[in-house]
Each structure stands twice: as C-alpha cells, then as structure tokens.
Amino acid sequence: MSKTVLITGSTSGIGLGIAHQFAKEGYNIMFHGLETNGQDIANEVGKKHHIKVGFSNANLLQSEAIENLVNETIDTFGSLHVLVNNAGIQFVSPIEDFPNSKYENIIAINMNAVFYASKAVWKQMKKQKFGRIINVSSVHGIRASEFKSAYVTAKHGVIGMTKVLALEGAEFNITCNAICPGYVKTPLVEGQIKDQAKAHNMTEDEVVEKVMLKKQAVKQFVPLEAIANMALLLAKDSSTTITGTSFVLDGGWSAQ
Ligand code: NAD
C-alpha cells in the first residue's frame, strides 16, 4: 500500500520540489499552499505519476486550520506516514524598524505551525507505529545574518523542537529531523534578490554573487533535488535510527 505524505507549502518552491520526488516514489500526496492554482498543480502531479492527491489552502496562521488540514489528510487517504513542515515566509529589516506584525507572522508560520501540525499528526503516527516528521529549517537555524531577527529565531526554534519530538517519538517509531538549506532559487528568494538589488543599488546578478552566495563556499544555489532526496531518505522505513538531527545542505556556509 502506498504511503501518505502531507507537505505544507507544496504548491511552490522547495515544497513542490519535494512533492515531485515523493510522487516519483509512488507516495500519495496532500498538497498544501496559498497559491491559487494549487488544485491544478496537485491534479497535474497526480495524473503524471498515477498517485492519489489532495489539496488544501489552510492558513497556517490559524491553529484550528492546521488541525483541520491534518484531519482532512487522514480522512482522504486513511493514513499519514510523513509530515513535511516546509511552508515559510521571510521578511528582512533592521530590528528597530521591524514591524511587530511581520515578526509575529514569521514566528507563527515558520515555527508555531510546525508545533501545531506535529501535534496534530502524533496520534495517527503512534497508532501506525510509523511516522516521519521532516522540518525544513535553514542554515539560519544554525547561523545568524543581520536583519533577519524573526526568521533566524523561528528557524533556530524549529531545530530545538525537532530534538524534542525525536525524543518523544522514539518509542513509537516516529522520527523527527530538520533539513537546513543554504540559498535555493525559489519565489521566496527571487523576492529577496529584487529587494536587495534596490537596497544596495546593484544589479540582480551582483546581489546573487556579492550578497546572497557570499557566505557559501560553493557559489551555486542549492538544487531542489538535493533537498528532496534528503527528505526521501529520512522518510524511509530503514531510517528509524536517524532522528533528532539536522542535515545541513549549505554549500559549506556553516563550515566556516
Ligand atoms: P516559497 O515562497 O516558494 O513557498 C512557500 C510556501 O509556503 C508557499 O506554498 C506558500 O503558499 C506557503 N505559505 C506561506 N504562508 C502561508 C500561510 N500563512 N498559510 C499557508 N501556507 C503558507 O518558499 P520556499 O523558498 O520554497 O521556502 C520553503 C521553506 O524553505 C521555508 O520554510 C523557507 O524558510 C525554507 N528555506 C528556504 C530557502 C531558500 O533559499 N529558498 C533556504 C532555506 C530554507
């Protein structure tokens, strides 16, 4: 029987990249995200890979909506084996001008939603005696950059939560791990490139080279496939002892 994966924020960027790889492996997928063409994306991937798909645009700012998203997944597929907590947002500003509402939304979506979704899947994963929770943190979960107070706080928090859930899940074959990418070229980063080009009065190419990839030893964006392959590995039956840790795919950024 095919396994079920719920991937938050899977109608864009990294989440969609992860969804494509899980689809190739025959997982049934609950797609999720705020993109207006989300249902079409889900249907297309489902048709291409002959897998069962669902789609939800649950707003991760609301804990009740997150619970409903998990329950809808279990009702639709009758199981939930893998949860990928991937959805996230970014906002960059010096702390003294950082709008409180932006701070609160980043903490809510990038960190609190990981708690609510993981809590909601727990009973089902315990019952199955199988669960894989994969949190998409960031190199900013282990390193700081200026002007990212909310994002760095949330991503560090996710790594702490990952360790706790690994300890609590151990006796039930529920593992929890984090993936920490460096820069990946997705809509989230494309927005930052445009903003930084304006802020630094540079071309977009200059921003990529001199600002974004400055801290990575490997001067390339992290490919989606690398992250998706890591997620697939963590989801495997045989990965039961890989838990409570972070996998850093940052082109050597944190080696320095
Ligand atoms: P993206 O903007 O392409 O996708 C984000 C997804 O989250 C979208 O589907 C969006 O609809 C969803 N989302 C945002 N707010 C939501 C809300 N309130 N309710 C429901 N869904 C919501 O971004 P991405 O670059 O693919 O980022 C995915 C994850 O990877 C994020 O957690 C991000 O922090 C992390 N990350 C990204 C990079 C990078 O360089 N792109 C690097 C490290 C970590």
Within this chain, do residues 78 and 204 fall inside the same structural domain, yes or no?
no
DSSP state of 136: E
Let me know how many helices (H) and strands (E) the chain has, helices first. 9, 7
What pLDDT score was predicted for residue 21?
98
Whether 212 and 202 have beta carbons less than 8 Å apart is answered as no
- Distance between Cα 44 and ligand 1 center (Å): 21
Within this chain, do residues 126 and 213 fall inside the same structural domain, yes or no?
no
Q: Which residues contact 51 (CB under 8 A, 6 or more apart)?
A: 2, 23, 26, 27, 28, 29, 45
What pLDDT score was predicted for residue 198?
86
What is the domain range of residue 210? Answer: 184-221
What pLDDT score was predicted for residue 199?
81
Within this chain, do residues 208 and 228 fall inside the same structural domain, yes or no?
no
- Distance between Cα 173 and ligand 1 center (Å): 28
**Domain-located, residue 193:** yes
What pLDDT score was predicted for residue 10?
98
Within this chain, do residues 150 and 193 fall inside the same structural domain, yes or no?
no
Amino acid in position 85: N
* Ligand 1 neighbours (beta carbon < 6 A): 9, 11-15, 33-35, 59-61, 86-89, 109-110, 136, 138, 181, 183-184, 186-189
The reported pTM is 0.98
- Distance between Cα 238 and ligand 1 center (Å): 28
Within this chain, do residues 200 and 164 fall inside the same structural domain, yes or no?
no
151 carries an active-site annotation: yes
Show the low-confidence residues of the chain (pLDDT under 70): none
**Domain-located, residue 254:** no
Within this chain, do residues 194 and 88 fall inside the same structural domain, yes or no?
no
Q: Detail the DSSP E strand segments found in the chain.
A: 4-7, 28-32, 53-56, 82-85, 131-136, 174-181, 246-249
- Distance between Cα 77 and ligand 1 center (Å): 24
Within this chain, do residues 91 and 212 fall inside the same structural domain, yes or no?
no
Within this chain, do residues 33 and 118 fall inside the same structural domain, yes or no?
yes
- CATH assignment at residue 63: 3.40.50.720
Within this chain, do residues 153 and 121 fall inside the same structural domain, yes or no?
yes
Catalytic residue among 27, 103, 116, 151: 151
What pLDDT score was predicted for residue 188?
86
Within this chain, do residues 10 and 77 fall inside the same structural domain, yes or no?
yes
Residue nearest to atom 39 of ligand 1 (CA): 184
Within this chain, do residues 130 and 235 fall inside the same structural domain, yes or no?
yes
Residue nearest to atom 9 of ligand 1 (CA): 9
| Ligand 1 atom closest to residue 34's alpha carbon, by position in its atom list | 11
Among 36, 186, 208, 220, which is best to mutate for testing ligand 1, by the most ligand atoms less than 8 A from CB? 186
Among 104, 188, 208, which is best to mutate for testing ligand 1, by the most ligand atoms less than 8 A from CB? 188
Whether 205 and 213 have beta carbons less than 8 Å apart is answered as no
| Ligand 1 atom closest to residue 60's alpha carbon, by position in its atom list | 19
